[in-house]
Amino acid sequence: MTFLLCVYNYTVLKLRKPSIWFSVFSEWNNAVKFINDQELNHDAAFSSEIWLSRQLQFYEEAKSGIAPRYSTLPRFIDTKTLHSIVDFGGGSGWVGFFIPDDTLYINQEISSLQNSFKHLSKNPNRIITENAADIIVEVDVLYSNSVIQYLPDISLFTDLVSKLKPKYILLDDVQLSNQSDFISLQRYYGSFIINRFYNLESLVKKISADNYDLIGTSKYPFTISNKMRRRIEGRSFGDPKIVKPRTLLFEKLPKNTNSN
C-alpha cells in the first residue's frame, strides 16, 4: 500500500510504509510549529519519564561493564592518558565508566535534567553541569554521542569548541545527508523528536573553522533491525537523501595553521 503525506512546507511525499520518520522541513522553526500545532511539546521527549528511565538503565548497564551504546572513544583515543574529557549531552553520564577514575569527566547537560543524574556518582572527578566552560578552560577531548542532530543550531556546539579548545573532537552517530541539510521528525512514544540531517562537507567546514582538521571518519553501526534500516535509507522520503550515520574525529591544528 502507498501512502500520501502532505509535508508542512507543502511538498508531497510518497511513502511505501509508515516509518519512524515523519515529513521533511527546510527550517527548524517549521518543524517546531508543526509539532505545536498538534498540541505537543517538542521539548518534552528528552525530559519524559521514558527517556529518563532509559538513561538510568544505560547508567546501570555501564556500571556493570556493558556499554549501552556503541562508542568509538576507546578506539580513537588512548583513554589511559586522558586528563580531561567533556561529554556534550552525556545524559546520565554512563561514558564515565569507560575512562580512568582519576580522569576529569564533565558531562554537559541541560539544567532540567541535572537533578535526575547528579546524585549517581560520588567520584569527585565526575561532574555534571550546564556549562563545562565554567569549570575547565582547555580540555583533552570534547566528545558527543548521538546529540548534535538534535540541536536547533550547530553554533550551540561550535561555541563550546571555541571556549574549550579541545585537542580532539570526537562525534559518534552523526546523522548525515548526501544533499543539503534538512530537518525531519522522529516518532517517539506518541510525540516527535526533531532531527537535523547534516551535509557532511558543510558540517566539517563549520567545525574546522576554529582551526581543526578532520583526521578520521568511520561508519557508525546501526543498532536497529535491517528492515527499519532500509526504510531510513531514503525510502521513507521518496528519494535517497539520507546516508549512514558516521563517526567524525577532529584534531586541533597548531596555531597559524589552517586545514584549508
Q: Look at the alpha carbons of 156, 55, 175, 216 in this order and tell me if their dihedral is positive or negative.
A: positive
Distance, in Å, from the CA atom of 151 to the CA atom of 254, rounded to the nearest integer, reads 29
Averaged confidence pLDDT in the chain: 83
List of residues 6+ apart from 245 with CB closer than 8 A: 173, 174, 175, 176, 219, 220, 222
**Burial profile 235-256: b = 16 or more Cβ within 10 angstroms, e = fewer:** bbbeeebbbebbbbbbebeeee
| In the chain, % of residues over pLDDT 90 | 53
Instruction: Report pLDDT digits (tens) over 67-85.
Output: 999 999 988 899 889 999 9
Would you write out the chain's pLDDT as a tens digit for each of its 260 residues?
Answer: 333 333 334 343 443 445 677 888 889 999 999 888 887 666 667 767 888 888 999 999 999 999 999 999 988 899 889 999 999 999 999 999 999 999 999 999 988 788 889 889 899 999 999 999 999 989 999 999 999 999 999 999 999 999 999 999 999 999 988 888 889 888 877 778 899 999 999 999 999 999 999 999 999 986 543 443 444 444 344 444 666 789 999 999 997 665 55
Distance, in Å, from the CA atom of 109 to the CA atom of 92, rounded to the nearest integer, reads 9
Distance, in Å, from the CA atom of 187 to the CA atom of 195, rounded to the nearest integer, reads 10
pTM across the whole model? 0.84
168: phi > 0 → left, psi -120 to 50 → alpha, else beta; which?
A: beta
Q: How far is CA 71 from the centre of its chain?
A: 12
Instruction: Report pLDDT digits (tens) over 182-230.
Output: 898 888 777 788 999 999 999 999 999 999 999 999 999 865 434 434 4
Residue 37 C-alpha cell reads as 500545532
Collapsed DSSP state (helix, strand, coil) of residue 158: helix
Residue 56 C-alpha cell reads as 538510568
**Which pLDDT score is estimated for 207?**
97
Structural domains present in the chain: 3-66+76-252 (3.40.50.150)
